[in-house]
Structure 1
Amino acid sequence: MSGTWSIGELAERAGVTVKTVRFYSDRGLLPEAVRSAGGHRRYGLEALDRLRLIRALRTLDLPVPEVGRVLAEEDALEDVIAGRLRQVGSQLAALRWREAALQLLRDCPAEERADRLRLVGAMTTPPSTDAPARFWRRLLPARLPARLVSAIVEAAVPQPPADPTPAQVLAFARLHALTSRARFDSDQCRPEDRHVGERPAVLYDGLGEAYALASADLRARRPPYQGEALDCFVAAHAHSRGTRDTPAFRRQLGVRLARSADPLISRYWELAAELSGPPEPTMGAAHDWLRTALDAQSASSAR
């Protein structure tokens, strides 16, 4: 038939196999011009153009259903490309984590390799933040409003670096193990005992402001001192308990904070700091800076 090609002729013109043409044709991606008297497929110029477009899309590793969507919907190409970019980004991040994990195992002392392999093997690549997020949601007071819980979890849980170093892989693996194994029914960590007599929402709202102020001082490398950040920190504790900020309250607060210090939480912040790195301080670093400022003030006033 004049102006049309057989499946073999189309395949030859497009530089593909007959099997490829039949595959796309069977899935409705290639339009047939007519059928021959013997029932054989015949294709026109539109099919050649369409086949070339399909091949171009497939070189981008787009799945066949996504190729069909691009061909069927005029504005679909931009969305499909954006989705594919996200997938590729995730795959690249996974490869970077695997590379850093392999470097970590290659370069560590032989006697530590099995332990580190167990730590790394317990994570996905790239790792999920589900375990540390669950840790904080269980640790925070049950009466805390959902908006505050979400804000605290977002600030407290470090995001996995896109291009981690071997040391960061190890830190995240240890953080994952720490938060996965944490038990809140032990003497070490009982969140229900942490805020007795306090209004948690008032406390955490105020602490968020105090930590932000202290973080600015930390970025500027200022040593702990009495100032706006410390005043805000003490006020948060005082207001949550319905009392006033007095020298006596500050001394009592310093003692109470020292007694309630938790090795588990301290270790968490150490690992989080390894992941976030300078210059961005963690909430744990801000808390320690404020505690140090409070202790220094109490020691000075006691002289």
Structure 2
Amino acid sequence: MLSIGELAERAGVSVKTARFYSDRGLLPESARSAGGHRRYSPEALQRLRLIRSLRALDLPVSDVGRALDREDALEDVVAGHLRTLGSQLAALRWREAAVRLLQDCTAEERAERLELVGAVSAPPTTDAMARFWRRWLQPARLPAPLLGRILELAVPPPPDEPAPAQVLAFARLHAFASASCPPGALRGLAAHRPDAGPRPAVLYEGLEEAYELAAPDVLAGREPGAGEALDCFVSAHARSFGARDTPDFRRRLSGLLAAEPRIDRYWQLVGELRGPGRPTPGAAHTWLRGALERQVTAR
């Protein structure tokens, strides 16, 4: 049997630490001496060493207790701790980039940037942008799977290792999406107009394909022009209205798109956040609008 002092010495911890774990029930005592002092079995030494190792990894005491109580719990405890560490590392990377952003600017810029960055949590979340799109897509009553795909396209995740410029773009995007707007001031991804009576689910499903087809041309910097992407774009609108794709319909659609509300600032910030290698749906939409306008003007 070991006294608490002997146990602590052999395990390489202080007596105070050993007593703390004993009081919390993590290190059960086997007996008491005639004088009422705690006595521990040799198995307690191995248990204390395990506790020390787990705590050295910064595992909470409650998780250490779970790992000790059940042999199969250690794997879950480690996995949960890895998730926590990942979140903490993401927050540190974000804060480092934010501090660098504040360091490399003028005093006037610093005040504005500090306000923008201070409104974003660390690590940042995309909740504000998701609420923004849910609000403006609400009148369309889209099926949940389609709505999820639109949100995936429209809401950019924060980068894992952000540069200061990306922190600024994300903070500005957060501020844009969080600002109050009058109802009806914006429409969805493109030309969803409830007053015109289109079938929005049909429209957005077709636009998703059209944007994907246009992406290589946008990425290559080609001039807007006719082709499969434009035909798919017009066809999505035609099916939405229950109309046929005719030259007259293309002319009317071009005028409708020219008058639609725009959120170019949102897509500009998304582009800054993503980088030049991934065209945004907004950029694809602008390219397709330009292609349609050119075609109608030529005719």
TM-score grouping bracket, smaller chain normalisation: over 0.9
Where 1:48 maps in the other structure, the secondary structure is helix
- CA deviation string 1:225-247 (max 9, x = no partner): 31111111100100110110011
Map Cα deviations across residues 183-214 of structure 1 (whole Å, 9 max, x no partner): 1326x436798232211111111111111211
Cα separation, 2, equivalents of 1:236 and 1:42 = 79
Measure how far apart 1:275 and its partner are. 0.7
| Structure 2 counterpart of 1:24 | 21
Question: Does the CA-based 8 Å contact 1:203-1:239 persist in structure 2?
Answer: yes
Unaligned 5+ runs, structure 2: none
How many equivalent pairs are there? 295
SS at match of 2:244: coil
Q: Partner residue of 2:255?
A: 255
2:158 corresponds to which residue? 160
Alignment of 1:150-299 (within 5 A): 150-185=148-183, 188-189=185-186, 194-195=193-194, 196-262=196-262, 265-299=263-297
Q: Give the C-alpha shift of residue 128 in structure 1.
A: 1.6
Deviation, 1:257, is 0.5
Determine helix, strand or coil for the equivalent of 2:237: helix
Aligned AA (1:41): R
Aligned partners of 2:141 and 2:77: how far apart in 1?
43
* Superposed displacement of residue 126, structure 1: 1.7
> C-alpha separation between the residues in 2 aligned to 1:214 and 1:18?
69
Rounded Cα–Cα distance in structure 2 between residues aligned with 1:238 and 1:300 = 21
Residues 139 and 184, structure 1, Cα contact 8 Å, conserved in 2: no
State the SS of the aligned residue for 2:39.
Answer: strand
Answer whether contact 2:186 2:261 (CA < 8 A) is retained: no
Give 1:218 deviation, angstroms. 3.1
Q: Distance in 1 between matches of 2:206 and 2:14?
A: 69
The answer to whether the 8 A contact 1:184-1:190 is kept is no
Identity %: 67
> What amino acid maps onto 2:77 in structure 1?
V
Q: Deviation of residue 216 (structure 1)?
A: 3.7
Q: Quick check: 1:93–1:162 contact (8 Å CA) kept in 2?
A: yes
Q: Is the 8 A contact 1:135 1:182 kept in 2?
A: no
Looking at structure 2, the residues matched to 135 and 242 of structure 1 have their Cα atoms a distance apart, in angstroms, of 29
Task: Measure, in 2, the Cα distance between the counterparts of 1:289 and 1:76.
Answer: 54
Counterpart residue number, 2:106: 109
Paired with 2:67 and 2:219, the residues of 1 have a C-alpha distance of 49
Measured against aligned partners, the alpha-carbon deviations of 1:96-132 in whole angstroms (never above 9, x if no partner) come to 1111111111111222211111111111112221111
Distance in 2 (alpha carbons) for counterparts of 1:49 and 1:220: 63
Alignment correspondent of 1:81: 78
Q: What is the CA distance between 1:78 and its match in structure 2?
A: 1.7
Distance 1:143 1:78 in 2: 43
The alpha-carbon deviation at position 85 of structure 1 amounts to: 1.2
Alpha-carbon distance, 1:255 to partner? 1.4
Q: Which amino acid aligns with 1:194?
A: R
Give the aligned partner of residue 120 of structure 1.
117
Pick closer, same or farther for the CA change 1:144–1:255 going to 2, 3 Å: same
Deviation at 1:221, TM superposition (A): 4.8
Q: Distance in 2 between matches of 1:171 and 1:164?
A: 10
Q: Secondary structure at the match of 1:39?
A: coil
Distance 1:116 1:199 in 2: 42
- Worse-matched range after superposition: 189-198 or 243-252: 189-198
Give the aligned CA root-mean-square deviation in angstroms: 1.8
Secondary structure of 2:224 counterpart: coil
Give the Cα–Cα distance (whole angstroms) in 2 for the partners of residues 205 and 181 of structure 1.
28
Matches within 5 A, 1:89-100: 89-100=86-97
- CA distance in 2 between partners of 1:218 and 1:167 (Å): 23
Offset, 1:222: 4.3
- Cα distance in structure 1, aligned partners of 2:64 and 2:121: 30
8 A contact 2:230–2:291 mirrored in 1 = yes
Q: Distance in 2 between matches of 1:168 and 1:297?
A: 37
Conservation of the 8 A alpha-carbon contact between 1:97 and 1:125: yes
Give the one of 36, 55, 59 matched to 1:58: 55
Q: How far does residue 220 in structure 1 lie from its aligned partner after superposition?
A: 5.0
Specify the code of the residue in structure 1 equivalent to 2:175: A
TM-score by length of 2: 0.93
